[in-house]
Structure 1
Amino acid sequence: MMNKIDLINFFTLHCSDIEGVSEQEVDNFLELYSLNLRSEHRNFLINYGNSKKLISQGFTDCSFKKFKDYYIRHYNNSYENDVIASQEIVPNNTVFFGLGFSDMLCIENDSGGIYMMIKKLIY
């Protein structure tokens, strides 16, 4: 069985667009919205947050931009975002991680488990 570090190393060796986000930008955004992330989630955003091919494919998007879009949309009702148009809210004790096949992915704060929330569209 491959451990998490080996899997990350495998993917990063085979991905040509590894691009992170500055610590300052991530930390400023977290402070602005009073968000507390698990250290590995923060490090993920810093190390890979702008890597298009690694974390954004088809209907999946776990980029720092998508992370910011969710919280900007959630805290600022005048912000328009067609991808996050269903007004979903992450459950208590979780943090938004990204979108997976158009469903929302959340990280559970205590365990670090990643969960998929099926969107409920508002008509």
Structure 2
Amino acid sequence: MTKLNIFTAIIGLVLLVVFFELLRRRQLREKYAVLWIIVALGVVPLAIFPSGLDWVTRQIGVKSGASLVLFLGLVLLLLICTHLSWEVSQLEEETRTLAEEIALIRTQLEERSVIPERDAPATEIGPKAAGDD
């Protein structure tokens, strides 16, 4: 086993620990963590058993294992970018809808004189400071 294989396996294991810790702290949602955990679980065995990559390259007819890894990495990144673009589009639509609903609610409340109109002078809200009486 070469130093690169050992280093790659260690990095893969560290990434697994980081992903599980992010999940535990709820800083990474499960639907994203699953993908990264699968990637990390794929890196560790390939680092420990590099002949497995050679076997896969022979089976599919690729000349170099490095070329296959780079190609698969590129495909993975394109899929992730596509998914995140879709997520952003959904969030933009949801934000626009919520902003419209808030505007409608604000208009209804202003018509009922529940809240002051936007042109009216703002009043201070909150606890009174000492000496305001």
Q: TM-score, normalised by structure 1?
A: 0.26
Q: TM-score, normalised by structure 2?
A: 0.24
Larger strand percent: 1
Larger Rg: 2
Larger helix percent: 2
